[in-house]
Amino acid sequence: MNGLEAEGLLSAWSFDGKGAATPIGWTEILSNPAPAEGFLWLHFRHLERAPQKWLRESSGIDPSAIEALVEAEARPRCAVFADGALLSLRGINLQRNALPEELITVHLWIDTKRIISVQHESLSAIGDYEDMLRRGRCPRTQGEFVAELAMRLVDRLDAVVNSLIDEADDLEDSVAKEESSVLLPKVAVLRRVAIKLRRHIAPQREALNHFSLEDDDWLGPKDRNRLRDAADRVTRFTEELDSVRERAAVIRDQMVDRRSEQMNQSMLVLAVVTVVFAPLTLISGMFGMNVGGIPGSQDGEGFWIVTVILIALGLFFLWAFRRLRWI
């Protein structure tokens, strides 16, 4: 196992502070080749069963910050230390077979000469960021680096939130057309995804706003504005996710109300049928008793007379119910 594999290093870049960057290897990292006006970016993957001694023992990062860097399920946050800042952000992985509510955390340690990032799972935003570096679009400061990465994470959130809004629109249009048994599972999934996303991304606003208040030289006014813009967009996403959750609840209530109305209509029809046929059944039952003295038992026309009376009585009940607007 070579040094890169043992330490979990995925990529490393050296920025000259003038808009250019070059990839570097493990040898250059150990010799600490940070440019005088630039910085290094070291991107690691946390390895559960590997020591990663350089990250834990030779990186010079505060031990409490190291423990935060290797934490798998961490809420977005920003913590300031004497020699740097720790920023934890979450992003949506848009790779194949990835669920939208499964957000992946990336931890960033930023100081005067380095950015050290640690991920536990592959994140598409990091891969796109490296593609941007290979195309020559490189940040000049650590603040510009973090602001660009934050905006890329937010852009992916925008796509997922918009898809949830479109799905809520489609469900609202289908309430009057589809059966409740078909729509209810879709509404439940929509609501679950909206709730989980909202819970995971809401703290990201405070983390970005807190980081934008840093007074280091490498964080300029433009970078602060972009970080605040990313935080504002996260705020808008949380509001839209709240709206999606409320719309899902309204859609479910509409379907439940429609089902209740259908049941009420069915019960009303059954009640009307019962009320109409109850006296008819009583009368026909009395005439069906096998005892003496039944009126018309000796009359050949008695059966038809009773039948006509029962039909007339039933029609009278139907007319009375319609008059009372019960049916």
What confidence tens digit (pLDDT) does each residue in 174-190 have? 877 777 777 888 888 88
Residue 54 belongs to some domain of the structure:
yes
Q: Report the run of H or E that residue 89 belongs to, with start and end.
A: strand 85-92
- The C-alpha atoms of residue 15 and residue 215 are separated, in whole angstroms, by 21
- The C-alpha atoms of residue 157 and residue 198 are separated, in whole angstroms, by 11
- The C-alpha atoms of residue 247 and residue 195 are separated, in whole angstroms, by 12
% of the chain beyond a pLDDT of 90 = 13
| DSSP classification of residue 57 | I
Q: For residue 44, which amino acid is it?
A: F
Looking at the DSSP bridge assignments, the partners of residue 115 are 41, 110
| Terminal CA-CA length for the chain | 82
Residue 17 belongs to some domain of the structure:
yes
Residue 3 scores a pLDDT above 60: no
Residue 183 belongs to some domain of the structure:
yes
Residue 133 belongs to some domain of the structure:
yes
Residue 297 belongs to some domain of the structure:
no
For residue 247, give the CATH number of its domain: 3.30.460.20
> What does DSSP say about strands 85-92 and 39-45: parallel, antiparallel, or unpaired?
unpaired
- The C-alpha atoms of residue 149 and residue 13 are separated, in whole angstroms, by 15
34: helix, strand or coil:
coil
Lowest-confidence region among 205-209, 278-282, 288-292: 288-292
Domain that holds residue 126: 3-257
Q: Per the structure block, which two tokens stand in for 249?
A: 């609840």
Mean pLDDT for the stretch of residues 171-176: 81
Mean pLDDT for the stretch of residues 242-268: 84
**Domain count along the chain:** 1
Q: For 137-146, what is each residue's pLDDT tens digit?
A: 899 888 999 9
Residue 295 belongs to some domain of the structure:
no
Residue 299 belongs to some domain of the structure:
no
Q: For residue 225, how many other CB atoms are within 10 A of its CB?
A: 12
Q: What is the pTM of this model?
A: 0.74
